[in-house]
Amino acid sequence: MSGAPAAASERVDLPVSGMTCAACARLIERTLAKTPGVTRAAVNFASRTATVEYDARQVRLPDFVETIEGLGYGVPEKGARPGAGEPDYRVRFLVAACLAVPLMALGMYMASPWLQLALALPVVVYSGAPFYAAAWSALRHRAANMNSLIALGTGSAFLYSLYATLHGGLHVYYEAAAVIIALILLGRMLEARARGKASEAIRALMDLQPPTARLWNDGVESEVPVERVQPGDTLVLRPGERIAVDGEVVAGESAVDESLLTGESMPVDKRPGAAVFAGTFNRSGSFRYRATKVGRGTVLQRMVELVKQAQGSRAPVARLADVVSGYFTVGVMAAAVVTFSVWLFFAPFATAMVNAVAVLIVACPCALGLATPTAIMVGTGRGAARGILIKSGEALEMAQKIRCIVLDKTGTVTEGKPRVTRISPSSGYTEAELLRLAASAERPSEHPIGRAVVEAAVARGMALEEAVGFAAQAGHGVRARVGGREVVVSRPGVTVTVDGAAAGVIEVADALKLEAAEAVRRLRALGLEVWMLTGDRSEVAGAIARQAGIEHVIAEALPDGKVDQIRRLQAGGRRVAMVGDGVNDAPALAQADLGIAMGSGADVAMEAGDITLLGGNLTAVADAIELSRRTMRVIRQNLFWAFAYNTVGIPVAAMGLLSPMLASAAMALSSVTVVMNSLRRGRR
């Protein structure tokens, strides 16, 4: 009997317009999640994005659009300008503000209620329209949200005043409804502006790719849109231009600024055979390069997708806010009813109504809904600007819980390639002469040790001689005549003999990264227990660990053994992070509570870990941990102030100590404060 076919799982990110609070996001999320074929739905109020994972055999993309639009929200078309479909808060605010100011003056002097009605009507009908429309949509789906509170509060004030006007009363509250709408619109404007700043990381990354490329075809150059470039095309790059797609240099040389990928400011020399990446900046020189990856396949676009994914995700700490705010609106409505009922025993109807309206307005849980996503947006955006890609809110939260960090040796603590570490000439030879003879003999060799000897000589500016009669013996070294003398370079240790006599020893080893000791010091200063895990021999591992300042070493561990060692550390109650190259260490990265993949522009393994460090600099591990801790501090601060605001504000309003106008100002200020706190911390 054959098994059932695998689900055709797909994932889509949809822009959503018209959301005015976190409760809107929850309504859309719950409705999408109930759709047959949907395995997961998440709606981020701060980034205005709905992420849906689904079985493509059961449901289609148009179904999601129909569901969202059926709830009263919009799905802007692909390519639409940011903010398309959102209410024009600026114009609505200007209308409300221009009419609310004279309304306040008229209300103080108890001017004609009919004049006040004439001024208040445009504010309620036009400026407040988005709130009433969203509240009606929620009511149709048997839900309540922040717009429900605003609609109830301002609607009650307006309708009571209209009733009083029609029946000859003088005590009206048109100015309260108008000022509340104006202040809430002001808060929305400031909030939208702050959210825009939080999203700058994605826009900055997207803007790095040039819109056009210079195509080279048999010596003829033509400028084409970057979308038309295909793998295999040859492109031309001049000084001061950005690279259009990922590729490989085929002619010419230059120095390229790759700081957007690695965070390193020093330009990287590029010669034929070197890899180049979309969005990086050509400082000097001109070269031709062959396109290898285009469109969404480039490293730059993969970075953009990962940052979007992270900014649309939730940290587990956000679940508390979700649960609380899910029931909050209904609870606030009940509190408003109780406030109205109690005050009705002791005061006129108008007083009871005003205090109930104040409760409805001050309790809007907008700050609660913004507390977590804005901090995540800023944190992940700042990380991306420094070459630290954090894939999700879960990874961000886990990073600050880590107390034990395990470092792979090769390519993480060490450079990952052999390098000359010491030259010991025999009597009659100098270091320079010994290195020159050995490098000249090794020049035709492709062996990594031979290449390391040649690179050391070239780095010292030596002029190498031709190797005559070159012969390589697998596992034993090379033999050649250099300047008329017979030179033998033996391996695995590099022992050099000239004309049959010992000339000296050149030590070649996988050297410690220059920043390794400083990186380990910073990790230990963060309170982390640092381990090194390697398949290398114990004596080699011990020597490297001592140089780096690592106290705990596990050596001679095979790939499966690495996983077992991670499990053993976890069994001791530790939260463990594994740092590796993201390819060979993939099983251990997956087993760890947090996988951190070290990458370079050439072969970044973005899929291997929860966090990817685009540069090879080990200090970025400490940067990532510090960033996560700082971001989680901001989230906790935001949640505290959001909860504290509502905890204090509701009883104060219920006691009649807070007018609806002051309540609306406080509500708007709380949301802006949360967002600005995230932005302020993100700049550190």
The type of residue at 115 is L
Q: Is the peptide bond before 418 cis (omega within 30 degrees of 0)?
A: no
Most confident of 150-164, 235-249, 669-683: 235-249
| Cα(425)–Cα(419) distance, integer angstroms | 17
What is the per-residue pLDDT for 497?
92
> To 5 degrees, how large is the angle CA 513–CA 515–CA 519?
115
pLDDT-based confidence at residue 5 (cuts at 50, 70, 90): very low
Most confident of 83-97, 201-215, 477-491, 559-573: 477-491
Burial class (CB in 10 A: 0-12, 13-18, 19+), 281: middle
Stated as kind and residue range, the H or E segment containing 117 is: helix 113-122
Nearest CA-CA partner of 185 in 108, 273, 93: 93
Q: What mean pLDDT do residues 620-642 have?
A: 89
What is the per-residue pLDDT for 358?
82
What is the DSSP code (8-state) at residue 465?
P
**Total residues belonging to the chain:** 684
| Cα(583)–Cα(598) distance, integer angstroms | 9
Annotation marks residue 408 as catalytic: yes
Stated as kind and residue range, the H or E segment containing 392 is: none
Given a cut of 90, whether residue 73 has pLDDT beyond it is no
Q: What is the CA radius of gyration of the chain?
A: 33
User: Are 646 and 410 a contacting pair, CB within 8 Å?
Assistant: no
Nearest CA-CA partner of 575 in 590, 591, 593: 593
Tell how far CA 501 is from the center of its chain.
60
Q: Of 12-16, 327-331, 400-404, where does mean pLDDT reach its minimum?
A: 327-331
Given a cut of 60, whether residue 334 has pLDDT beyond it is yes
Q: Is 283 left (phi over 0), alpha (psi -120 to 50) or beta?
A: alpha
pLDDT in tens, 115-161: 999 999 999 999 999 888 888 877 877 777 667 777 877 888 888 88
Q: What mean pLDDT do residues 392-417 have?
A: 85
Task: List 481's β-bridge partners, or say none.
Answer: 468, 486
What is the per-residue pLDDT for 3?
43
Mean residue pLDDT of the chain comes to 82
What is the per-residue pLDDT for 474?
58
What is the per-residue pLDDT for 196?
64
Share of the chain above pLDDT 70, in %: 84
| Cα(230)–Cα(129) distance, integer angstroms | 49
What is the per-residue pLDDT for 121?
95
User: Are 148 and 138 a contacting pair, CB within 8 Å?
Assistant: yes
pLDDT-based confidence at residue 392 (cuts at 50, 70, 90): confident
| Cα(609)–Cα(579) distance, integer angstroms | 9
What is the per-residue pLDDT for 611?
87
pLDDT-based confidence at residue 664 (cuts at 50, 70, 90): low
What is the per-residue pLDDT for 487?
92
Domains of the chain by start residue, with CATH? 9-70 (3.30.70.100), 89-198+317-376+634-682 (no CATH), 206-300 (2.70.150.10), 388-414+514-626 (3.40.50.1000), 418-512 (3.40.1110.10)
User: Residue 181: CB partners within 8 Å, gap ≥ 6?
Assistant: 96, 100, 123, 124, 127, 128, 131, 150, 154
pLDDT in tens, 292-307: 999 888 878 877 776 6
Kindly name the residue from 246, 408, 581, 610 that is annotated as catalytic. 408
| Cα(570)–Cα(406) distance, integer angstroms | 11
Q: Of 7-11, 373-377, 478-482, where does mean pLDDT reach its minimum?
A: 7-11
The residue to which tokens 């009997």 are assigned: 1
- Strand pairing of 9-15 and 254-257? unpaired
| Cα(47)–Cα(201) distance, integer angstroms | 12
Most confident of 83-87, 393-397, 417-421, 483-487: 483-487
Given a cut of 50, whether residue 4 has pLDDT beyond it is no
What is the per-residue pLDDT for 87?
61
Q: Is 654 left (phi over 0), alpha (psi -120 to 50) or beta?
A: alpha
Given a cut of 70, whether residue 198 has pLDDT beyond it is no
User: Residue 268: CB partners within 8 Å, gap ≥ 6?
Assistant: 255, 256, 257, 258
Given a cut of 80, whether residue 668 has pLDDT beyond it is no
Top pLDDT among 400 and 184 is at: 400
